[in-house]
Amino acid sequence: MANNTVTFDPTSGVAYGVNLVINTGASFVNNFSVLDVSESAFNFTNWTGSSQMAKSVSIGSTSYPIATFNVGFTSAAGGKFNISLGSTATRLLQEGRYVYDVLVSSGSTIYRIVSGNVLVVPGISSAP
């Protein structure tokens, strides 16, 4: 389980970049602690989140989401949330490079808060 602390400035309109690694067949969880520009916890009370992953393709190509992460606010007032995929979902992923983002929304306000690359790595060893 990875942990990332990000500083988010809603006025910038730019998502914070975080790259991820997913091992196929294993449960995946990445925790995020979000701070605002004054270094205080970003308050996610009454916010919802969504996150998807798509195959990384060349500029001008179209790619469709191949996985939808679960987004859970573990401490909304404390600026903490995670994204996750269960082992059944990661088992279906093919090796390669993908892209993802996380959107958070409250009413009509929507922020693309985090985005980056995802490297999907297949298992090499087998259990005895």
Domains of the chain: 2-121 (2.60.40.10)
Confidence (pLDDT) at 125: 64
Confidence (pLDDT) at 113: 96
- Residue 87's H or E segment, with its range, is helix 87-91
- Please report, to the nearest 10 degrees, the dihedral formed by the alpha carbons of residues 83, 55, 121, 72 taken in order: 0
Q: What is the pLDDT along the chain (128 residues), one digit of tens a residue?
A: 689 999 999 899 899 999 999 999 999 999 999 999 999 999 999 999 999 999 887 665 557 888 999 999 999 999 999 999 999 999 999 999 999 999 999 999 999 999 999 999 997 666 55
Confidence (pLDDT) at 117: 94
